Amino acid sequence: RCMAVHSPFLAKRFCTAQHARFSVYVLVFLAFVLFSATSPILYTVDLNQQKCVIRGHLKKLIRYIKPAIFYFVPDILLLANLFVIYELWLATRLRKKTLTNPNNSISLNAANFNRKQRQLTIMLVTVSVSFYIFTTPAIIDYIAQVNPPQHHDVKKLKWRFLRINVTVLILQMNSVTNFIFYCLAGSKFRSACLDTLKEGYDQLLYLWYRHIMNKKNYEKPSRYNARLSGCRQLDTVDENRKRIFGDRQRRSTSIIANNNNSSKRPSRETILN
């Protein structure tokens, strides 16, 4: 963003997805190398507890190194955002001095660009300042715990325990308030958040309707099989009835045919006469 504000032509060359991906890989590699190189120096193996612990002569030093590392990246971000604010202020002054017609398209495009950059910068500065506000009490208390208490006063120990938990709670509020600051200071973030919630709601509805349809499709074959088995039973009953009725009809026709044949046959007396 600093490069995009200070030199837009260089931003088109360097501010690309490929360069960003390469920068992330370099940072991860450097962090891995730094951690691997410093771990044997800072830590040692405790055979009694069977775990790695910080070396005794480095415990106090670590109390000061960790906060410095903890604030290193936010300091860079805050300085970069302040630099962006300064560059936008210079660009606004320069545009007011050089442009004679403030209603032309170049002025409008520059104003829109500066307005968007200003909104984004305000949002990031707010997040950085809130980070310092919410994390400073925990860091101060962390440094103050260099020397453990030597007394056994219950009230002081309870107060110390309460102070530690309150500072940790304030530290965790930093992550909670980031979302609120993003929503308040960034219109694009609000629209993107609403679109994400809408897409998630539509996806849940789709999964729910799909579950209902799968359930119905699962119940339909069972009902169909039950009905089919019932129809098959009815068909077998009808076939048995038809078979019985056909046997009776054949018997009745055979009896009628025999009677007719016997009635047509001439008797012995008529032949003799």
Q: How many domains does the chain have?
A: 3
Give the pairing type, strands 51-54 and 43-46: antiparallel
Q: Classify residue 2: in a domain, yes or no.
A: yes
Average pLDDT, the chain: 72
Task: Name the 3-class secondary structure at 52.
Answer: strand
Residues 87, 169, single domain; the answer is yes
Residues 151, 195, single domain; the answer is no
Residues 103, 46, single domain; the answer is no
Contacts of 46 (CB under 8 A, 6+ apart): 52, 53
Q: How far is CA 54 from CA 40, 50, 57, 71, in A?
A: 10, 13, 9, 21
Q: Classify residue 270: in a domain, yes or no.
A: no
**pLDDT at 151 (0 to 100):** 72
Q: What is the pLDDT of residues 159-181, one digit of tens each?
A: 888 888 898 888 888 878 878 87
Which domain, by its residues, includes 200?
A: 187-251
Residues 241, 159, single domain; the answer is no
Q: Classify residue 71: in a domain, yes or no.
A: yes
Residues 74, 155, single domain; the answer is yes
Residues 44, 159, single domain; the answer is no
How many whole angstroms from its chain centre is CA 10?
34
Residues 144, 180, single domain; the answer is yes
**pLDDT at 267 (0 to 100):** 45
Q: Where are the beta strands (DSSP E) in the chain?
A: 43-46, 51-54
Q: What is the pLDDT of residues 194-226, one digit of tens each?
A: 888 888 888 888 888 777 766 655 544 555 455
Q: Classify residue 271: in a domain, yes or no.
A: no
Q: Classify residue 256: in a domain, yes or no.
A: no
In a 13 Å sphere around the CA of 260, the CA atoms on its Cβ side amount to 6
Written as one letter, the residue type at 199 is E
Q: How far is CA 227 from CA 13, 191, 224, 236, 239, in A?
A: 71, 53, 5, 14, 18
The 10 Å Cβ neighbour count of residue 14 is 13
